[in-house]
Amino acid sequence: MTDARVRFIVDWVLRCLADHTIRGLPEYFERQFLHGLGHDDTSIGESGLLLSGAVAHGLFGNIWLHARESRAPPRADSASSGPDTSRLLSARGGKGARSRRQSMAGSRRQSNVLASPRMSSVHVSASPRMSVVNSGLLGSRKYSIAGGPLDVLRMQHVVISVSKVWCRLPPELLSARIQHMISMEPIPFVLPLRDAFEDSEHVHLVYDGLSAQAVCLTDKVFDDMHLSEEDADEHGFCEKTVQQIVWKLLKSLEQAHSRGMVHGSLRMGCCYFNDPEDLDSLQILEFGLAALFDCPTAVPPAMILSPLEADRTDPVPAYRRDFQCLAEMAFLMLGGQPICSLNSSKEELAKRFRRGAVNFSDKSYAHTTEDAKDFVVDVLRPACFRKNTKLQPCYEVSVYMSHRWFYARRDNPDQLTLLYDVIVMRKYDTWRNTLRLRCNFMKILADHMPLKSIGHLCEDLAKLSATISEEPGAVSWTMVVNHILKTCPILHLLQKVNKAFGENEEMPVINIRDTRQAIEAWRRKRVREIVWQVFNRSKAYNGEMQADACWEGFHNGVLHVWSRPLRVVDIVFPPGGEESDARQRELQAFLKSRKRVRFLELLSKTDAARPI
């Protein structure tokens, strides 16, 4: 190790220690987090991005799948009767605006490559005075208005919004890592990061766009399994398809690991295909974010079973974590079910992955080749059970890429192309529906129960479990519903998710401790997001706004409906009881006592004051 390397490590550690010391100060989030990204003003309000449209719950924050870059269109007669609009924008924005347009222009050029080959030019009549032509370029539209043509380019981007609460690194180191990810050479099948912006609450990472036809890997597997007989012969899902997907993921990890980088949180939900019929259009999201941000507790349940906590026995970066996630995905796609039961506790999951144990005895793996089974076992095998080798951990992926599963075998060549039977389809459908229903269950309780009620609910369930349940610490769905209805009459909503924990509603499979942690985290996440929605609607990106406008914003409806349309105030202070009314009056008095209010001050008056 060189002297320069030692100085770099010492400087890194000292900066992290200093940042941890001041993290609890109120002024911590009132400073600029991003520096040196090519534009002086890093505010999301100056980026021209419209965060709207389809949104997915990512591992680190919300993923805006089709965020648009909106630019004010120039007038039709601007060339002859007015000044150059672009120069005005440049003069107003200064150096930051010019560099930002250059960055977005580079993003447009890269995104053109992502356009699906099936996206042909289609003419759609928008109105008698305006027609829209969708070109083959992603997000490019040409507007023809009576009186002359007008070209307006609305670029689509994927934007991941991460709360600053989860920043793992100090702002200087965070900016340096983001800048490195922007300027580095592209990694195969990884969606490139193009820019980053911020507001008082979030860091917004701007990526290249996905096509309008893009589909998540979770949904693609489902769609291919349910193709009709005519289409299944050509595009049906089989082990050969799994092999091709896993190979592309390995190619991506090979490039990343050789540079000392890891994905850190690879899963089915972060893989998208720009063209559902073309596996080469694979795009991997959330690459490298595990090194920048801590993993929140409020994540979609069972979206990833591989433990994301750092293992001190593994090398740094966590190369093995990528392999565990890859093996989990391969096992799921081969047989339609996860490595561990979705009702397993966190301790059971950690124990299973620590041992690297996997079971192929289920009949859904009856037609899986032995080579595929050996591949999953080899990837999951812990280092203590492997032969000693001089190969560096960053090049371990080459061993898996040379596995015999990826090379032709003469014995039974048709087994790879054998379409999956109904057993695998049903198991995969059950897994996919369970994830959706459990996520909706968390959202329902987050909308209607404050933290205090959630705590009382879980304490009562724990006492009940200790007296009547065969498994202490676990309760059935029927017990949970009966106790929820005592304080929160939402039976019509709970009936929609009654299969979230299995078909048998009387079986005690709900782990009370893990479920409580998840519900409380989702409650804090929900309250924090809708309180910020009040500031975001008023374009108060610095986290400060007029107090009277803030009170009006609390009586507006929420933008993202989780369970049913509700007002912001009805979620922050769920109706029912004198305590809720008293807290509303307290908040109203607080806002009337001042002219302006800050986001963190307002958040401290809710039950989302603690971390998510």
How many helical (H) and strand (E) elements, i.e. helices and strands, does the chain have?
20, 17
Which pLDDT does position 27 carry in this prediction? 73
Asked if residue 560 has pLDDT above 70, the reply is yes
User: Is the model's pLDDT at 77 over the cut of 80?
Assistant: no
Our measurement of the distance from residue 432's CA atom to the centroid of its chain's CA atoms, rounded to an integer in Å, reads 16
With a CB cutoff of 8 Å and minimum separation 6, the contacts of 281 are 114, 116, 211, 273, 274, 275
Domain ranges for the chain: 215-420, 428-511, 520-603
pLDDT at 438 over 80: yes
Which of 562, 560, 563, 570 is closest to 536 using CA atoms?
A: 560
Q: What is the pLDDT of residue 235?
A: 67
Work out the burial of residue 384: count CB atoms within 10 Å of its CB; fewer than 13 is exposed, 13-18 middle, 19 or more buried: exposed
Q: Using one digit for the tens of pLDDT, what is the confidence trace for 399-411? A: 999 999 998 765 6
The pLDDT value recorded for residue 75 is: 38
3-class DSSP state for residue 144?
strand
Question: For residues 188 and 263, what is the distance between their CA atoms, to the nearest angstrom?
Answer: 13
Q: What is the pLDDT of residues 111-141, one digit of tens each?
A: 333 333 333 333 333 333 333 333 332 333 3
Residue 469: the pLDDT is 63
Q: Identify the three-state secondary structure at position 125.
A: strand
Q: What is the residue type of 178? A: I
- Which CATH entry fits the domain spanning 215-420: 1.10.510.10, 3.60.110.10, 1.10.1040.10, 3.30.420.40? 1.10.510.10
* pLDDT tens for each residue of 504-548: 999 988 999 999 999 999 999 999 999 999 999 999 999 999 999
Kindly report, residue by residue over 166-195, the tens digit of the pLDDT.
998 888 999 999 999 999 999 999 999 999
Under the banding of pLDDT at 50, 70 and 90, the label for residue 143 is very low
| Contact (CB, 8 A) for 202 and 161 | yes
CB 51 within 8 A of CB 67: yes
Confidence of residue 106 (pLDDT cuts 50, 70, 90): very low
> Could you give the CA distance from residue 588 to residue 583 in angstroms, rounded to a whole number?
9
Q: Which residues face 148 on adjacent strands?
A: 145
Please, which residues have CB within 8 angstroms of residue 33's CB and are 6 or more apart in sequence?
42, 164, 167, 171, 174, 175, 198, 203
Amino acid at 609: A
Instruction: Say whether pLDDT at 74 is over 50.
Output: no
Q: Quick one: pLDDT at residue 552? A: 92
Residue 81 has pLDDT above 50, yes or no: no
Is the confidence at residue 97, as pLDDT, over 60? no
With beta carbons less than 8 A apart as the criterion, state whether 446 and 247 touch.
no
CA distances from 469 to 435, 466, 484, 509, 514 (A): 25, 6, 18, 10, 17
Give yes or no for a contact between 174 and 32, defined as CB atoms under 8 angstroms apart.
no
* Tokens 């994927």 -> residue: 158
Residue with tokens 């002359």: 148
> What tokens does 369 get?
């080749």
Question: Residues for the chain: how many in total?
Answer: 612
